[in-house]
Structure 1
Amino acid sequence: MDLKDKLKRLLDSPYRDFLGEDDLQNEGELLTLRQRLELIYRRSRQEQGLAGKVSAPKRIEELVQGRVEETPYGQCFVREIDYSPGYCHGEVSLSTLLEVTPESCCKLTGDERFNQWQHSKAIFVDTETTGLSGGTGTFIFMIGLGYFRGEHFHLWQFFARDYSEEMAILHLVESLTKPFQFLVTFNGKQFDLPLLQTRYRLSRMDTILHQLSHFDLIYPSRRIWRLRLENCRLSTLERSLLGVVRRGDVPGEEIPQVYFDYLRSQNATLIARVFYHNAQDILSLVGLMATICLLYHKPFSQGEWCGEDFYSLGRLFHQLGEAEKGSRCYLQALNSGIPAHLVPSAFKALSFIYKKNREWDKALKAWDDLLVLGEREFDLFPYEEIAKYWEHQRHDYTRATEVVERALLHIHRAKEELLPDRYAAMERALEYRLRRLRLRVQGKRWY
């Protein structure tokens, strides 16, 4: 094939459709590589319907209702939303938070300053950042901040359209937080607050955020729902407890990349969805705090809770020194049904509460229930407690001796199931107790 045939074959190819008049007049000249690539590019753009001008990227001002705010540190973008008193986030009304008591906040946080709790003095804060691990290299590009103004809930969102606007959003947040006493976050102690302090420090600015009484909702959430839910992420909690279903949301782990893409393209289409994500997080803080505090205040009249929830509540109340509520929750857990591995722990906890309150009949019932469970898996605990009861409370050394003898028979039968060291330790403890009790039965001194 000579040169003329090669040119004819090339010009008869699909590229010919994209040649201009000047190109067609020079059919005798071989197309350069650059010309070929340009033709391929023009054809691909036409096939995708993009042969004309590329549409201009959408700015954030076109997609999100807000304004550009001037500060001593430059500009940033600000959005305000007002939620009416009847607004419901999922199945929970925001105004439910107005029922939260100082006692519940104080007990759940362990911070005595919450004795002065007022909902109008609290701010709810959530940040969106360029990384999820924190550190000096992580940049805050959005801060959401909500608070109650009367019965209305007011939400501010401060957005840095590029890195240079971070100081502006930090300045506005600091100006807004000065009248408040209480801070509510989710995992804020580990992430949001340390990161905010770092960014303020690097910007050589002061902040009072670390001085506020801090209620981090992740800790009571884990204590109450860790056993039942697959995890205690905010998205899981809001879906399971508040009935929130997000539509058109951006997953939290994708948000840093969305911001990087926005900085490169200046197209705010996806960033608009980050505003939605941040607003939903703030509203979930309100709903979750109301749910937790009201559950603490009225554990038997708030919603439909399962056995694992009542077990966790029983443990929480027990740790907080509220034995009466704790015992009721443990009993409710056993009546509602809990996984088999939690049943012995529930009976043990109940027996501790009854023993401390000197409710011996109830304590004996709990220990007897543990003995029945111990037929399947040996546990020395109920034998020891029953023996101590007969020895120290009733001074019936014969009954106490019988209990210890039963325990020895049981561990001998269960020897194959026990680790050698554990078996030896149990046997020594029981034999020592048995020798002492036999001496007391005979009226002899045992010490």
Structure 2
Amino acid sequence: MDSKFKQRLKRLHDSRLRAAAANERAEDQGVFTAETEKVGSPEGPASASLKAKADQGWQTLGAEVVQNERGQFLLLARHYGDASRHGHHHLGACRGADHSQLRRLMNRRAFECLVAEDMVFLDIETNGLGRDAGTYAFCIGVGLWVEGGLLVEQYVMGSLDEEVPMLAALGDRLDKARGLCTFNGKKFDVDRLEARYKHHAMASPFGHLHHVDLLPLSRKHLKGHVRYGLQALEERILGVRRIDDVPGQRIPPLWKRYLAGGQARLLDGVLEHNRIDIVSMPVLLAVLLETTPDLSMPDSSAPAATGAPEPRTQMPALKAPTRESSEPLNIGARLTRSYTLRERSTGLPKSKAELRTSAGPRLDDFKTIGERLRALRETADALIERDQSAQALALLFEMVALSPGNPYPLEQLARYYRAQGNRAFAEYFEARLKACAPY
């Protein structure tokens, strides 16, 4: 046998003897290493992990160590009551929004059967902003409606070896849900989590869920905004202004500092950022459900024989329907275009006194729907008084979109089309006017 090989074997044997002796000394002193750990020992892995988490300050943040069949992770939970306000909205009112309108919002029949309690709201915080294989979530925020309000749970990795049990816990939670709501989740949150489930050879929990992504829906139905980030929509639509919020680009560096030996308080702002993201989602969903009504009406391949000329409006000319037709004409699509058309207009004043100088109310100028409706009505009144009803059509249609039960725009539209000799349109808006509750 080669002499060098013999020397290597001797060194290996000596090192093992030294390790065994060290373990014996540790046992005599009541300390257990990884190799000599005893099940049920007061200084076993669970208590050691708890002590480590306490030393890092997780308990001061309200976190608890949760054990499942795949290991352990950190759980933080916070309950927001139905009476809690988020910007201009009470959470209880958002919970009571008509979720059956999801079918119309998503244009898919499968969403019709969902109720508020079926939905889970999901948002993640990651170690990077890219989509490469090394990007993983260290915090998974989940919101769900429970008795009395909204429960926000946050599954957090206290160390890198806690990702698998954290993902397993998320899977258990999603197995009980039917619907999933995210903000840009189709391109980021769910995409990243799917990759991590695949990386760990775990079954994906997303396959059975009906996914509602609020970002594309906001771009489609909340026209007139320059930015469609969640925080921008919070300020413009929900009336939420964050204070001392941690910007998204700072989250990965904070996580790296924590991994390098930092305290849990480094992530306190990150966790609060995640919680606000979660709470904003059901509120934004309720706004979308209530402010994008279905305004479909019969269509016809041939216009009605009224003989009246088509009105000159800022909207595309509408074809008059006939009673025999069964094809739907989606006025809702025209309503969304009216936002953009009104933004481009330079002749829509705010009040009678500003008819010659004002460029009209911008959709972004008002934080609440009520403020926008008041400005739109004031402008429409001024135009109608100047016999410019055709120019007011875009504003009236927008009012119908924002407040479908408001009799004012319905009455004005019925009068306009009656004066134009467009009987079918006039009767349609008159019928809606009779059906709406008086203000």
Give the TM-score, by structure 1 length. 0.56
Q: Does 1:73 align with 2:73?
A: no
Counterpart among 83, 87, 98 of residue 84 in structure 2 = 87
Q: Match for 1:212: what amino acid?
A: L
Q: Match for 2:198: what amino acid?
A: R
What is the distance in 1 between the residues matched to 2:347 and 2:99?
32
Q: Match for 1:67: what amino acid?
A: E
What is the distance in 2 between the residues matched to 1:271 and 1:342?
51
Match of 2:344 in 1: 339
Counterpart among 172, 175, 196 of residue 172 in structure 2 = 175
Match of 2:289 in 1: 293
Match of 1:140 in 2: 137
| CA-to-aligned-CA distance 1:75-132 (integer Å, 9 cap, x gap) | 2110111111111111111122333334421122123211101111110000111111
Report if the CA contact (8 A) 2:235-2:241 is conserved: yes
How far did residue 146 of structure 1 move?
0.7
Match of 2:311 in 1: none
Q: Match for 1:223: what amino acid?
A: K
Q: Does 1:283 align with 2:279?
A: yes
Q: Does 1:122 align with 2:119?
A: yes
| CA-to-aligned-CA distance 1:202-244 (integer Å, 9 cap, x gap) | 1111132132000000011112345x32310111111111111
What is the distance in 1 between the residues matched to 2:205 and 2:102?
21
What is the distance in 2 between the residues matched to 1:294 and 1:137?
40
What is the distance in 1 between the residues matched to 2:291 and 2:271?
30
Match of 2:240 in 1: 244
Aligned length: 272
What is the distance in 2 between the residues matched to 1:66 and 1:268?
10
How far did residue 328 of structure 1 move?
6.2
What is the distance in 1 between the residues matched to 2:347 and 2:127?
41
Q: Match for 1:142: what amino acid?
A: C
What is the distance in 2 between the residues matched to 1:341 and 1:321?
33
Counterpart among 192, 214, 219 of residue 216 in structure 2 = 219
Partner SS, residue 211 of structure 1: coil
Partner SS, residue 81 of structure 1: strand
Match of 1:267 in 2: 263
Counterpart among 73, 96, 99 of residue 99 in structure 1 = 96
What is the distance in 2 between the residues matched to 1:332 and 1:272?
40
How far did residue 256 of structure 1 move?
0.8
Report if the CA contact (8 A) 1:63-1:272 is conserved: no
Instruction: Map 1:349-360 to 2 at 5 A.
Output: none
Report if the CA contact (8 A) 1:125-1:184 is conserved: yes
What is the distance in 1 between the residues matched to 2:57 and 2:332?
51
Partner SS, residue 270 of structure 1: helix
Distance change in 2, residues 1:263/1:108 (3 Å): same
Q: Unaligned stretches of 5+ in structure 2?
A: 1-53, 296-313, 319-326, 349-388, 394-439
Considering only CA atoms, is the larger Rg found in Structure 1 or Structure 2? 1
Partner SS, residue 231 of structure 1: coil
How far did residue 329 of structure 1 move?
6.7
Q: Does 1:61 align with 2:58?
A: yes
Match of 1:149 in 2: 146
Counterpart among 243, 250, 253 of residue 249 in structure 2 = 253
What is the distance in 1 between the residues matched to 2:107 and 2:215?
14
Report if the CA contact (8 A) 1:225-1:232 is conserved: no
Q: Unaligned stretches of 5+ in structure 1?
A: 1-56, 300-309, 315-319, 344-364, 370-447
How far did residue 253 of structure 1 move?
1.4
Distance change in 2, residues 1:185/1:60 (3 Å): farther
| CA-to-aligned-CA distance 1:176-199 (integer Å, 9 cap, x gap) | 111110000000111111111111
Partner SS, residue 265 of structure 2: coil
Partner SS, residue 229 of structure 1: coil
Report if the CA contact (8 A) 1:70-1:76 is conserved: yes
Calculate the aligned-residue CA RMSD, in Å: 3.2
How far did residue 58 of structure 1 move?
6.5
Give the TM-score, by structure 2 length. 0.56
Partner SS, residue 245 of structure 2: coil
Judging by fraction of residues, say which structure has more helix: 1
Report if the CA contact (8 A) 1:167-1:203 is conserved: yes
What is the distance in 1 between the residues matched to 2:159 and 2:252?
13
How far did residue 297 of structure 1 move?
3.2
Distance change in 2, residues 1:244/1:58 (3 Å): farther
| CA-to-aligned-CA distance 1:109-159 (integer Å, 9 cap, x gap) | 123211101111110000111111223110110000010013421111010
Partner SS, residue 78 of structure 2: strand
Q: Does 1:229 align with 2:225?
A: yes
What is the distance in 1 between the residues matched to 2:133 and 2:330?
45
What is the distance in 2 between the residues matched to 1:145 and 1:170?
12
What is the distance in 2 between the residues matched to 1:156 and 1:93?
20
Instruction: Map 1:12-27 to 2 at 5 A.
Output: none
Match of 2:196 in 1: 199
Partner SS, residue 153 of structure 2: strand
Match of 2:330 in 1: 323
What is the distance in 2 between the residues matched to 1:66 and 1:95?
26
| CA-to-aligned-CA distance 1:30-54 (integer Å, 9 cap, x gap) | xxxxxxxxxxxxxxxxxxxxxxxxx
Distance change in 2, residues 1:333/1:198 (3 Å): closer
What is the distance in 2 between the residues matched to 1:154 and 1:327?
38
Distance change in 2, residues 1:216/1:327 (3 Å): closer
